[in-house]
Structure 1
């Protein structure tokens, strides 16, 4: 009898009482595969200090990973491990170079996050423009009649600047089309023809920041985008402009952003992500009245949970069936002998 294909899910999918905190993430597909294809799955032990231990992943063929770090030490002696399927699109918690060297493919779930994250960006943009937080405070503090002092700003006819025009940025662009906004995007990898077809003007980042009424960060965090929005670039923004970040906190130099917000050199910001998560209770950003904050969860909906789960599980089942999984971030790992032995035919051949 062939040995089963073993899949481990990180334990942070579970609440303290043992429920899947995300709701339905598509685990029924793994249950079906257990009957039909010899796939077995369970939850890994809790990650010590946030890092998956080598001993805990030994004996697994694939991992579905939420928050814990996958380091060089995690995969160094994992002779069986061939796949780390990230639940989401960010993979800054995975040492991709170490995985590649060890013959471990890393995949992400862009189809699962595209719409939910784009909708969350629009949600924050509208919350800022309509001053939702200010108006909530008026009611709670008995200042109902002060509402004329808190007029909003319609996005219609104003300029949207997308910092990154990839998977999520393009969807934000599409969702904002009915609002009648002028659209700019700064992305060296964007397709000029596709942008032109959508009425999006590709510009340099500095130009975007100087012109945008709403600057929305959707690019990936890389060594090149770390502190992409530093003090110098934030200084280019108009005093009436708003910043929205639904990507990763370190793309924005938070100390510089705190300063421009405190000095009202921009009108406000909505941040789902921060440089340190969670922030220190004494972080001065938390006391500013013109910033709207969320705990890296503004896009967490049933749609995102199921979409991410289905994407990660599809990658696992593809590999278990000898197919090349979709959306690898390190396709060069496919040249490793272990993966070459597992993948009997490419996705192109069967789909």
Structure 2
């Protein structure tokens, strides 16, 4: 029986094209004893009926829940297209013998460049200057001086896969670099010219605070009103991680009150945000629809890595970057001879 792979339908545009461009699907066509297609789910929870008969799923935004797995008579892999897996019930997957993988190599470069893009755009007040031209206010430009980054302090909230790459990209800019991450290697940080510190110190000293940590129960509202109040009035907050890491109401209040110079956000507590959300009306905020890093390079990198995970499991190999390696001990995976 062929190994059957399903991709969530949100990879497709309304007219049936792969909206991401090349995501490496040729590798599936070239693989032996493998079939693939798109499941019926493009948003919301993936239903049990949608996954029945599939051995692996490649998932973009729909949710894999405990109920989803009730239909998973053959499922052994959920390969996330990206590094966040808050749309996957990992504990339920582990109980059912379903391995969950992510694609850190595919996102490292594009998301880090996106973080730098937002940082520089905020520092130069690009959004406001763009509106000056579009609204005929050319001569108001003296009221919108930017902030130079050389010699300023960069604070990285999370110094993992993406945080380290942001450090590398920013090194030529001559910024002092701080990072708050309890799991970071002090020796590696020192070698890269990064000072590890606690979060409160980082927020008090950073001119640009960049959120790159994962969303977990411990990091939900990590930046609440109290922590945001520690930031300098001239500082900027950039978030390319997950929206709920920041208390969005508290952030809005700080921006309205002038306790922060500005923010650049690719992610929100609720996505998409309510059009009436007062954050969207602020002049000192740059916004992107959780897509600032969406490039051809990210598409191919993520897609190829997720597909490689599926083909590895199909061949009885342990894939790279499992989130729940303990699932490898489950009888379902052992029966497929996928074991460590």
Deviation for aligned residue 1:145: 1.9
Partner residue of 1:42 out of 37, 49, 56 = 37
Deviation for aligned residue 1:149: 1.7
Deviation for aligned residue 1:79: 2.2
Mapped to 1, the partners of 2:144 and 2:49 lie a distance apart of 57
Mapped to 2, the partners of 1:136 and 1:335 lie a distance apart of 55
Q: Which runs of 4+ in 1 moved over 4 A?
A: none
Mapped to 1, the partners of 2:140 and 2:88 lie a distance apart of 49
Partner residue of 1:55 out of 49, 52, 66 = 49
Deviations 1:182-223 (A, max 9, x none): 000000000000000001000000000000000000000000
> Is 1:242 matched with 2:236?
yes
**TM-score (ref. length: structure 1):** 0.95
Deviation for aligned residue 1:141: 1.3
> Is 1:321 matched with 2:319?
no
Mapped to 1, the partners of 2:179 and 2:222 lie a distance apart of 15
Contact 1:76 1:102 in 2 (8 A): no
RMSD value over aligned CA atoms? 0.9
Deviation for aligned residue 1:154: 0.8
Per the alignment, residue 203 of structure 2 pairs with 209
Deviations 1:201-250 (A, max 9, x none): 00000000000000000000000000000000000000000000000000
Partner residue of 1:220 out of 196, 214, 221 = 214
Partner residue of 1:184 out of 156, 171, 178 = 178
> Is 1:78 matched with 2:72?
yes
Q: 1:215 to 1:247 in 2, by over 3 A?
A: same
**TM-score (ref. length: structure 2):** 0.99
Mapped to 2, the partners of 1:264 and 1:345 lie a distance apart of 55
Aligned residues: 340
Per the alignment, residue 14 of structure 2 pairs with 16
Where do 5+ consecutive residues of structure 2 fail to align? none
Mapped to 2, the partners of 1:317 and 1:212 lie a distance apart of 44
User: How is 1:1-351 mapped onto 2 (pairs within 5 angstroms)?
Assistant: 3-33=1-31, 37-47=32-42, 50-343=44-337, 346=340
Mapped to 1, the partners of 2:22 and 2:73 lie a distance apart of 31
Mapped to 2, the partners of 1:66 and 1:8 lie a distance apart of 11
Mapped to 2, the partners of 1:68 and 1:144 lie a distance apart of 44
